[in-house]
Amino acid sequence: MNDTSTKTNEWRDRELGALWLKQGKSAKDYMTGHCSINEEKVSVVVFKNTNKTSDRAPDYVIYKHKPRDAEEESQQNSAEEESQQNSAEEESQQNSAEEVPELLV
């Protein structure tokens, strides 16, 4: 086996994952990719730390990727719950207004 092949195998053995640079809708760059944690492949997303307050703060922050379908479903469910709650509050206000005698209104 030659020296180049040995070095390639060594780097491959040490590899933890990979990242791809992307551009977001607001023209801010971020990275997506995966990391192997305990031999499990975990999808990640990486953003520049825009709240960096000192030199000791990290330049980038890594987050576990949340699939878009689940995120959109979560947002839709929240919107539906809020709509239902608003409807219930409006109905409650209407009922309480009807319970007040006309002389007091």
More confident residue, 88 or 2: 2
Averaged pLDDT, 68-80: 61
In a domain, residue 104? The reply is no
Task: Please check whether residue 45 lies inside any domain of the structure.
Answer: yes
The mean pLDDT of 2-25, rounded to a whole number, is: 85
Q: Which comes out higher in pLDDT, residue 34 or 70?
A: 34
Mean pLDDT of 41-68: 92
The pLDDT assigned to 27 comes to 73
CA–CA distance, 39 with 5 (Å, rounded to integer): 24
35 part of a folded domain: yes
Q: How many CA atoms lie within 13 A of 56 on its CB side?
A: 0
| Closest to 46 in 3D by CA, of 19, 11, 80 | 19
Per-residue pLDDT of 79-94, as tens digits, reads: 566 655 555 455 544 4
**Predicted local confidence at residue 73, as pLDDT:** 59
**More confident of the two residues 34 and 88:** 34
Whether 36 is covered by a domain: the verdict is yes
Query: Which residues form the domain of 95?
Result: 3-99
